[in-house]
Amino acid sequence: MRVSIDRKTIEVVRGDITDQVTEAIVNAANNHLWMGAGVAGAIKRKGGDEIEREAVTQGPIEVGEAILTSGGKLKARYVIHAAAMGQDLRTDINKIRMATHNSLVLADKHQIASVSIPALGTGVGGFSIFHCAKIMITEAVEFLQNTRYVYHIRFVLFDEQSFDAFHQELELQFSAKRH
């Protein structure tokens, strides 16, 4: 599903974040920026150890913050590491909201036009995919109304339930805006 906001787009697709052809992909990171399991592990396996080495030299960061590294061997030029949780592996509404927002602000600052983002905090963090979808899509919609450079945000969901949650939330928010 794809919707437009002021000639910019938000898209929800099912797939593998490491295969995305966008200028940047977002890593669901911890605040020490170690890349072990889940999305981070997949990015490290496909993109190479240099992504983690580059990230760790910029950490630790505050939960909710984001940093930028190269994309290593990935199709994406950059990886934005969004710290949606700390070492306790817990997250919440504010951490996910801030990590999403700060990822997009960082992309805009670096004049990155297209960004692919996974669901943050729903794997190891254990956060509800439905609440996550609402938070992240709301942030993306608000952000696209004020950005200078980011014109395409793609939410990339690995499994059917996550895809359905984001698809339904995007549909819900845009059907409400039309009425």
Contact 126, 111 (CB under 8 A): no
- Over residues 21-37, mean pLDDT: 94
Record the tokens describing residue 42, joined without a space.
Answer: 């997949």
Question: pTM for this one?
Answer: 0.95
Residue 16's pLDDT band (boundaries 50, 70, 90)? very high
pLDDT at 114: 98
- The reported pLDDT for the residue numbered 36 is 87
Count the helix, strand and coil residues of the chain and give each as a percent rounded to the nearest 5.
Answer: 40, 25, 35
As a whole number of angstroms, the distance between CA 59 and CA 32 comes to: 6
